[in-house]
Amino acid sequence: MDFYIKQNTDLPILKMEFVNDGRTNSFKNLNDEMVNAKIRFSMYDPQTNERLIFMENAYLTDKKKSENESDDQYYIFYKWKNKDTRKKGKFLGEFSIMTESGELIAPIRENLYINVI
């Protein structure tokens, strides 16, 4: 997944949706735990391993009803600071979500590339 943001700006907000891929029966339990989760965002340069952002607070948006009325969907987001985008390049980003069950690093299937242009 690629996300683009201009250098030295703080918009647009980075937003990611949790998707139920059907591989787990505990997706509803995870949704329930998200309300009390501690969410952090990190970004680093994959070439040098330099951390540009490390464990900064990220947030949970209000839930929305999905097509299947029994499942709620959540979005997590990170609000940029101007200093976060000082350096141009392609970086890797990740969300750390701490719940009562443990830590989940997202995204899971594909890397989150942050392109500062």
Per-residue pLDDT tens over the stretch 84-115: 999 999 999 999 999 888 898 888 889 999 99
pLDDT confidence of residue 66 = 56
Residue with tokens 């949790």: 18
- Sorting pLDDT into bands at 50, 70 and 90, what band is 33? confident
Q: Could you tell me the pTM of the whole model?
A: 0.84
Give 18 or 49, the one with higher predicted confidence. 49
Question: Are 71 and 27 within 8 A, CB to CB?
Answer: yes
Cis check for the bond before 12: say yes or no (omega within 30 of 0). Answer: yes
Residues 6+ apart with CB under 8 A from 9: 80, 82, 85
Enter the DSSP assignment of 13. Answer: P
Contact by Cβ (8 Å): 100, 38: no
Top CATH class of 2-116 equals mainly beta
* Count of other CB atoms within 10 angstroms of residue 76: 20
Amino acid at 33: E
pLDDT attached to residue 22: 52
Q: What is the pLDDT of residues 37-48, one digit of tens each?
A: 899 999 999 999
Instruction: Give the span between the Cα atoms of 78 and 72, in whole angstroms.
Output: 20
Distance from C-alpha of 79 to C-alpha of 84, rounded to nearest angstrom: 10
Contact 75, 17 (CB under 8 A): yes
